[in-house]
């Protein structure tokens, strides 16, 4: 019971930090996945009087992933009543070429503007349609989400500092006396603080293990999967190797930092 109490305070503090961090990672991944989704569904249409060389265009504009020539058949089909085949062939030849430009990622409005200007520099390109109104609204919404996430990350950072400083005071109170007594009998700093570092290490392991179990459960939850598929994205909620590594690393870093601060601030009682 006593041993459990010794561990509980730091484990709870670390666990809340790890939980906030992983939540932030999941939300960030979801936004990025949504952004990729948008990029796949968004494209620009360029109208050219001449056939465009896809390789040259892609090499010139890094934002363009693929160029697809749009067939004019659908438009012509609507007009072909009472028009001879010869005239339709002539019409086909005189019509400009329509290209769908698939982009590498979902660009910002200024990137879209720059691309439009760059494409129009080619004299054969007569029109570039960016569907800017709907694009700008979606981009602003995405930007808002990003800002909210950044504020959340900042808040988590502040809470982390507060939790750690609170824990620092508790630990100082709990461990200073023992360190002092050990020092009076000639214990070197590494020995008198060994218990502290061992406790920090064990607590970091316990907190990471708890976080591992919680997020493994969340990642396997059907409900979470449903929510993500509802917005058309697939996200790795918890990577048992990478995410656990980050969690363990952070927990070890914070607890070791805490122990080090106590050792540094420790002064022998006179």
Partner 1 sequence: MDKVIVANNLSLSYSKDETIINKVSFSIDSGSFIFITGASGSGKSTLLKSLYGALKPQEGSLVVAGVELNGVTRSKLNLLRKHTGIVFQDYKLVKEWTIEKNIMLPLIISGYDKTVQKTQVDTLLKHVRLTHQAGKYPKELSGGEQQRVAMARALSHNPVLILADEPTGNLDDYSSQLIWNLLEGANTDLKSTVIVVTHHIPESMGVDFKHFHIEYGSIHEVA
How many residues touch partner 1 under the rule CB under 8 A: the total is 18
Considering only 64-72, 123-131, 180-188, 212-220, which stretch makes contact with partner 1 by CB under 8 A?
A: 180-188
Residues 15-74 that bind partner 1 (CB under 8 A): none
Among residues 43, 95, 105, the alpha carbon closest in space to that of 72 is found at 95
**Helices marked H in 63-187:** 73-79, 85-94, 109-120, 132-184
CB of 26 to partner 1, least distance (A): 39
Site for partner 1 contains 249 (CB under 8 A): no
178 interacts with partner 1 by CB under 8 A: yes
63, 159, 182, 209: residue in contact with partner 1 (rule CB under 8 A):
182
The minimum distance between CB 170 and partner 1, in angstroms, equals 14
| Contact (CB, 8 A) for 191 and 182 | yes
Alpha carbon distance, N-terminus to C-terminus of the chain? 33
Stretch that binds partner 1, among 89-97, 186-194, 207-215, 235-243 (CB under 8 A): 186-194
Q: Which residues make beta-bridge pairs with 98? A: 47, 70
Q: Tell me: does residue 188 bind partner 1 (CB under 8 A).
A: yes
Task: Say if CB 140 and CB 108 are below 8 A apart.
Answer: no
Please give the DSSP secondary-structure letter assigned to residue 109.
H
Rounded to a whole number of angstroms, the CA Rg of the chain reads 30
268 in contact with partner 1 (CB under 8 A): yes
Q: Are 128 and 110 in contact (CB under 8 A)?
A: no
Shortest reach from residue 191's CB to partner 1, in Å: 7
270 binds partner 1 (CB under 8 A): yes
Pick the binder of partner 1 from 177, 231, 232, 257 (CB under 8 A): 177
Shortest reach from residue 189's CB to partner 1, in Å: 8
Burial 220-252 (b: 16+ CB within 10 A, else e): eeeebeeebeeeebebebbeeeebbebbbebbb
Q: Of the listed pieces 55-63, 152-160, 184-192, 242-250, which binds partner 1 according to CB under 8 A?
A: 184-192
Q: How far is the CB of 173 from partner 1 (least distance, A)?
A: 12
Phi, psi values for residue 142, rounded to 5°: -65, -40
Residue 263 binds partner 1 (CB under 8 A)? no
Rounded to 5 degrees, φ, ψ at 106 are -80, 110
Q: How far is the CB of 15 from partner 1 (least distance, A)?
A: 23
- Is the CB of residue 21 less than 8 Å from the CB of residue 250? yes
CB of 169 to partner 1, least distance (A): 18
Does residue 75 bind partner 1 (CB under 8 A)? Answer: no
Please report, as ranges, the residues that interact with partner 1 according to CB under 8 A.
Answer: 2, 6, 177-178, 180-189, 191, 268-270
């Amino acid at each position: 019971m006593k041993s459990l109490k010794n561990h509980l305070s730091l484990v709870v503090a670390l666990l809340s930090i790890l939980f906030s961090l992983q939540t932030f990672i999941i939300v960030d991944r979801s936004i990025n996945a949504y952004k990729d989704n948008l990029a796949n569904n968004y494209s620009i249409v360029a109208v050219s009087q001449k056939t465009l060389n896809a390789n040259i265009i892609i090499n010139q504009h890094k934002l363009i992933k693929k160029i697809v020539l749009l067939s004019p058949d659908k438009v012509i089909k609507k007009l072909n009543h009472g028009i001879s085949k010869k005239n339709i062939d002539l019409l086909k030849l005189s019509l400009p070429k329509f290209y769908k430009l698939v982009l590498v990622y979902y660009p910002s409005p200024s990137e879209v503007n720059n691309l439009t200007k760059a494409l129009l520099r080619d004299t054969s390109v007569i029109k570039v349609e960016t569907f800017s109104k709907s694009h700008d609204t979606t981009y602003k919404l995405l930007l808002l989400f990003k800002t909210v996430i950044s504020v959340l990350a900042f808040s988590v950072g502040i809470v982390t500092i507060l939790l750690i400083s609170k824990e620092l005071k508790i630990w100082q109170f709990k461990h200073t006396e023992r360190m002092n007594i050990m020092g009076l009998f000639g214990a070197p700093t590494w020995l008198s603080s060994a218990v502290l570092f061992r406790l920090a290490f064990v607590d970091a392991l316990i907190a990471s293990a708890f976080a591992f179990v919680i997020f493994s459960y969340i990642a396997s939850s059907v409900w979470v999967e449903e929510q993500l598929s509802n917005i058309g994205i697939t996200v790795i909620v918890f990577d048992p190797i990478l995410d656990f590594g980050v969690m363990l690393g952070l927990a070890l870093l914070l607890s070791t930092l805490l122990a080090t601060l106590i050792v540094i601030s420790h002064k022998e009682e006179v």
